[in-house]
Structure 1
Amino acid sequence: MGTSIPEQVVTNDDLSEFLDTSDAWIRQRTGIRERRVVRPGTSTGDLAVLAAEGALKSAGSGEADLVILATTTPDHPCPATAPDVAQRIGLTGVPAFDLSAVCSGFLYGLSCAAGFIRSGAAERVLLIGADTYSTILNPTDRTTRAIFGDGAGAMVLRAGHPGEPGELAGVTLGSDGALRDLITIPEGGSRHPVGDELTAEGRYFTMRGKSVYRHAVQRMVESATRACELAGWRLSEVDHLVAHQANARIISAVGERLRLPAERCAVNLDRLGNTAAASIPLALADAATAGALRPGHRTLLTAFGGGATWGGAALTWPDITPVAV
């Protein structure tokens, strides 16, 4: 695994200088006290390159047969960012593509990577989750500005054997397009093209918070439970829950409904905020580095994102050292 977060720290007090908000208001509603934000000129691809380099170093090899980049903030609407990332890390000629499933993107990418490996089409896959949501947020919207941060996390997956440490034991995914308006950028795509007159509200990321909370908790609990079933685990046997770091209340509600104590639930959004597709790999790396996530731990992942999309995965944690770049 490899990770990369921007150097620039934006605290709640920083936001309160130009938004109608406060540190207490943000912490009470989200659990976030600060987030990392890219400086002008730094892109999603830049963070993805650093995280990928860290993952390849952690894996002890610069080789991969496929590069998957989960993101909804690509460097350009066209072309995809993954081929450029692959070229910049010395993997020119290797197939590479972007995957867009918003905050569920890393789990969708994990399932894709597993499919390529199990089919024999790839031996080693470099999976990256990277987003720079600060570039798509309305600067005057205190709700979204307070929630999101920027970052990237990457993982190298390889073919293995049943029961081997690091085994991906079960993955489940889902979606519901009827919920597409819960989390969206309304304008700028083919339905409302860039050439049209864009509204001040329509060009930025929007989210219906209360509805997102309800659907996120329900779908994340269902996905986590299903992933456990696929792995043949009981929920009581799970050592660590790594949920998408959307909101402290969501993480707490999911943990409670799964009957997992707080000490088994990873939390790093207080320092990083919601980093979208980078959220799960960054939380995994933090937990492993801190020693909370140890080799052999039965680890449960779950996420909910725009689309709407959701997913869950079960894996045993391997003996690896994440590299922060």
Structure 2
Amino acid sequence: MPRPSETATEGGTAGLDDERRRLTLLAYRMCGSWADAEDVVQQVYLEWWRAHESVDNGPGWLTRTTVRRAIDALRARQRDAAYVGPWLPEPVVQEPSDGPHSAAEQSEAMSTAFLLLAESLTPPQRAVVVLRALRYEHAEVADILGISPAAARQHHVRGLRRLAERDGRAPAVAAIMGPRSEGAQPSDARDETARLLTAFLTAARRGDTAALTALLHEDVRAYNDGGGRTRAARRVVTGGQHVARFVIGVAGRHEGRRAVRLVTVNGTPGALVTLADVGHVLSLEVRDGRIYRLFDVCDTDKLSALRTSALRGCA
């Protein structure tokens, strides 16, 4: 990940706002929640104002403190055991024309697929895996976490092993473990995802079960996160035929009351879909040229940060 300027926080205030987005994205990768990430960064800034006069390397201090406060937040957080249906991370949505603020915003450590799998990691493991995916060296990771380089390597190995145990065939896991983790999602992969997304939306709109099934991987899984606030499947839907029938059924029930806008979701091609005034944020994970994972966030709490016009102004 491109390093921040060493003078970004010179004098305590200059460039501090520029650092906020970088730090919030880092905390978001750690927490899987934009609201939690903003809370973490707010706490970091409060600490910064008390300590900045004695800090030599402002960006380094901010990075280290953000990671440590995110770890504290993860340790304090307990996912509600009574959560209704599958849980998905709060999506980060941009208009395609906006483009990402940096290549790091397209990295695999930002993807919905990775953030979902990362819930299986311990907080230190998650921190190390995220930082390594952002091209921090083991020595830098060790300094950020206040541990030895050997311990950092051990957390990294155990974290990757746990991800592989959860879904070793997932493209997100392979990318984090391989060279693709060092940069943005390649343009050809983005193009393939965009193509499959468009074909998926078209088949769903037309009610073409055969065409939709042909787009789906044999091991496809569809996650629908309504959080108990919006009607959604309460279990993960698995298998091409089951997923296709489910999607066609939902689309058919809202014929004439649906709208779509193509956007970028967590750095990858996605869509804002409105079904009878209910917003859905869709994104995909692709494997072997087919849709391997389908993610649908329709929990109103997780979509509250999105502009109302973005959901209702779909075309």
TM over 0.5: no
Higher strand share: 1
The structure number with the bigger radius of gyration is 2
* Greater RCO, 1 or 2 (C-alpha within 8 Å, sep 6+): 1
- Name the TM-score, length of structure 1 as normaliser: 0.29
**Bigger fraction of residues in helix:** 2
TM-score norm. by structure 2 comes to: 0.30
